[in-house]
Amino acid sequence: MSSIHSEVDRPQVEEARFSLSTHLYEWVSTVDHKRLGLMYIVTALLFFVIAGLMATIIRLQLAFPNGHVVDPDTFNRLFTMHGTSMVFLVGMPFVAGLSNYLVPLMIGARDMAFPRLNAFGFWIFLFGGFLLYFSYIGGSGLSGAGSAPDVGWFAYAPLTSRAFSRGASTDYWILGILVAGIGSIASAINVIVTTLSMRCKGMTLARMPMFVWVMLIDSWLIIIALPPLSAAQIMLLIDRFLGGNFFNTQSGGSAVLWQHFFWIFGHPEVYILIFPAFAILSEVIPIFSRKPIFGRPAMVGAVAAIGFISLGVWAHHMFAVGMTSWSNTFFTASTMLVGIPTGIKIFNWTATMYGGKLRLATPMLFCCAFLFQFLVAGLTGIMLATGPFDWQLHDSYFVVGHFHFTLVAGLVFGLFAGMYYWFPKVTGRMYNETLGKWHFWLFTIGVELTFVPMHFLGFLGMPRRIYTYAPDRGWDFWNLLASSGLLFQLPAILIFVWNVVYSAVKGKPSGDDPWDAWTLEWATTSPPHEYNFETLPEVRSSRPLWDLKNPNDPDWRFE
């Protein structure tokens, strides 16, 4: 543990008696990027738990054939809300929360470029989330789980038309997400402008930490890929409320057009979601290997390539729609190509670890598991990218297994690594390492148990989004195994929550730089002052603190 800044004697301010209303007002009216970042992340974790409970009910229903835990309509609402929540109310706020908290600190800035826009983005995201969940009680009320949407998270037309989705449930889906999406775009513009216009002296673009680069490219993707979703949703609103014909097949409209528009958003979206994990790994692995990231320019180039290519692969979600063989081949090709820069990243992370001195603390454990699991996820992605193979696998449990591997075994593992890594910076206290390891092992076992069997269910012909199945299809055993993973995942999450809450209050003070790290956020107090930096170290390379701590072997001699 080392501390960068000098000990200065500061006059203490006498704090008045604790006032809840003042405290609350401060949080509600804040424009401080750190508080907003935390609010994003805490809200995301709350939705994570809620959507996770939905998944628990789904797995209970599917644990045995002819299950009767919930009726078909409730089940259909559950998987719709589970997917919608996880993507838009967990994944996206994590993107926003992590960038907002860390980017200004990492580039030596005092706050984001547009602090009030930042606050606006958070509150409108929260409102969108409330609107979506209000669907449970709005409309026709609580009878049969109210009016929650039941059209699947990608809401294909014409199932979403007035004719086939009566009532207000689909409207809640549209409006909730449309509104939350505005927040995402606002946050993304803020991140881009911040990285371009708010860097401290010496912090050239080339010297920005990997985390900042990845979130910058992520924000580019957001501002390009989210508008197509908003556009499609506006079109659906016009169809549903004004009698428009965008997706009305009776008047010549095309149901496939919705799919094109949705997936032009939807595929970049999954890269938008996974980039924070890439960003976190690129910070955590070097510190816990005691080596710089291997091939920094290639890593940045790979992320840029992934971002760019991901805009051209969307129709691999539509291989079964009956496109021409030329289209199917093109999208097979582009989808496989996007796997290449992703693979390069895995190689580079491994090469960073190679020859290093690996400290297998909790953040690093999550990173190591990520490497294996994301490798599997990427390879099953190659299987899905192969058009003819996809004709079998599309819309089966193989796909469900694949995307849960990328998002849970991938993204969520990366997020845990990041949360443990920056926990001391945010709270000023260290988490409990033993509990962290328990969380890691239980969660890993649970995730493998739940999502590996799904790939086999896909091979055996089980389609997705079915509320039950017959007992003689050979699906019983794998479904039961998948559901048993809950027994490990649920305690793991409980341990995590306990560890976070307890350590934030009673953990050992961690100091400014408990991990002996190299980027600017570790050059200030834990937690940082409201104004972030009292003094900034000189920035002459991508590892300013390494240079400071190793004056005989600074990076700027080699960069």
Question: What's the one-letter identity of residue 79?
Answer: F
Separation between Cα atoms, residue 107 and residue 115, nearest integer Å: 16
Q: Name residues contacting other proteins, limited to 412-431 (CB under 8 A).
A: none
| Cβ atoms within 10 Å of 343's Cβ, excluding its own | 14
- Residues 64, 120, 168, 395: which binds other proteins (CB under 8 A)? 395
Instruction: Tell me the per-residue interface mask from 220 to 239 with other proteins, x by CB under 8 A, - otherwise.
Output: ---xxxxxx-xxx-xx--xx
Q: Name residues contacting other proteins, limited to 355-374 (CB under 8 A).
A: 355-361, 368, 371-372
Minimum CB distance to other proteins, residue 463 (Å): 4
User: Which single residue is written with the structure tokens 């930490």?
Assistant: 209
Contact criterion met (CB below 8 Å) for 402 and 396: no
Separation between Cα atoms, residue 61 and residue 63, nearest integer Å: 6
Beta-carbon contacts of 316 under 8 Å, excluding residues fewer than 6 positions away, are: 267, 331, 332, 334, 335, 384, 385, 390
- Residues 379, 435, 480, 490: which binds other proteins (CB under 8 A)? 379
Q: Name residues contacting other proteins, limited to 4-63 (CB under 8 A).
A: none
- Residues 46, 193, 481, 490: which binds other proteins (CB under 8 A)? 193
- Residues 127, 136, 156, 438: which binds other proteins (CB under 8 A)? 156
Separation between Cα atoms, residue 175 and residue 181, nearest integer Å: 10
Asked whether position 452 contacts other proteins by CB under 8 A, the answer is no
Nearer to other proteins, 41 or 457 (CB): 457
Separation between Cα atoms, residue 33 and residue 36, nearest integer Å: 5
Contact criterion met (CB below 8 Å) for 411 and 488: no
Q: How far is CA 56 from the centre of its chain?
A: 20
Put residue 432 in one of left, alpha, beta given phi > 0 → left and psi -120 to 50 → alpha: beta
Asked whether position 467 contacts other proteins by CB under 8 A, the answer is yes
Q: Name residues contacting other proteins, limited to 245-274 (CB under 8 A).
A: 245-246, 249-257, 261, 264
Put residue 532 in one of left, alpha, beta given phi > 0 → left and psi -120 to 50 → alpha: left
Stretch that binds other proteins, among 94-102, 168-176, 244-252, 503-511 (CB under 8 A): 244-252
Nearer to other proteins, 123 or 459 (CB): 459
Separation between Cα atoms, residue 550 and residue 475, nearest integer Å: 59
- Residues 540, 544, 545, 547: which binds other proteins (CB under 8 A)? 540
Stretch that binds other proteins, among 18-26, 131-139, 387-395, 401-409 (CB under 8 A): 387-395
Stretch that binds other proteins, among 25-33, 272-280, 328-336, 502-510 (CB under 8 A): 328-336
- Residues 65, 139, 167, 244: which binds other proteins (CB under 8 A)? 244
Minimum CB distance to other proteins, residue 527 (Å): 26
Q: Name residues contacting other proteins, limited to 59-98 (CB under 8 A).
A: 71-73, 76
Asked whether position 474 contacts other proteins by CB under 8 A, the answer is yes
CA torsion angle 121 216 218 118 (round to 10): 0
